[in-house]
Amino acid sequence: MKLRMIIATSVVAALASLAACGTDDQPEAAPSSEPTSAAPSSEATSAAPSGVPTKASDLVGTWEDKAAKWEVRFKADGSYTMDYEGVKDFMSGTYSLSGETVSLSNDEGTDQGQVQGESLVFKLGTLTRK
């Protein structure tokens, strides 16, 4: 358990520091006039239709980056669970989508990524619908 906490702390710290770093490769997303969307409160867990996510409920389903050994399951209630490098339920929290910015929040902080086409691009990797 102590090793898992050390690993979790290290990964969260790495994600937080990477999320704080800007890049010149991508312009910062323009603020949206739309309020931050939350996933619907429905308990349905069916995957949203494929395509470009435009609202939080479009993220519902399983997304993965096989190269990074990373999987995120977005639930209809606005929560997510993450598996990382073979560790099931490595992290969990809530998510939101505002404009093109996807936010994954938990007790350790918030990691943000960008919607790029039908993918979610984070510093850790690029998630595609499974």
8 Å CB contact between 7 and 87: yes
Say how far apart CA 110 and CA 84 lie, in whole Å.
17
In the predicted structure, residue 12 carries a pLDDT above the cut 90: no
Per-residue pLDDT at 50: 66
With CA atoms as reference, report the closest residue to 59 among 83, 77, 32: 77
pLDDT digits (tens, 9 = 90+) for 51-68: 899 999 999 999 999 999
Sign of the Cα pseudo-torsion (69, 119, 48, 106, in order): positive
DSSP 64: E
In the predicted structure, residue 17 carries a pLDDT above the cut 80: no
Average pLDDT over the chain, rounded to an integer: 76
Question: For residues 91 and 13, which has the higher predicted lDDT (pLDDT)?
Answer: 91
Say how far apart CA 51 and CA 79 lie, in whole Å.
21
Question: For residues 113 and 28, which has the higher predicted lDDT (pLDDT)?
Answer: 113
Q: Would you say the pTM of this structure is higher than 0.75?
A: no
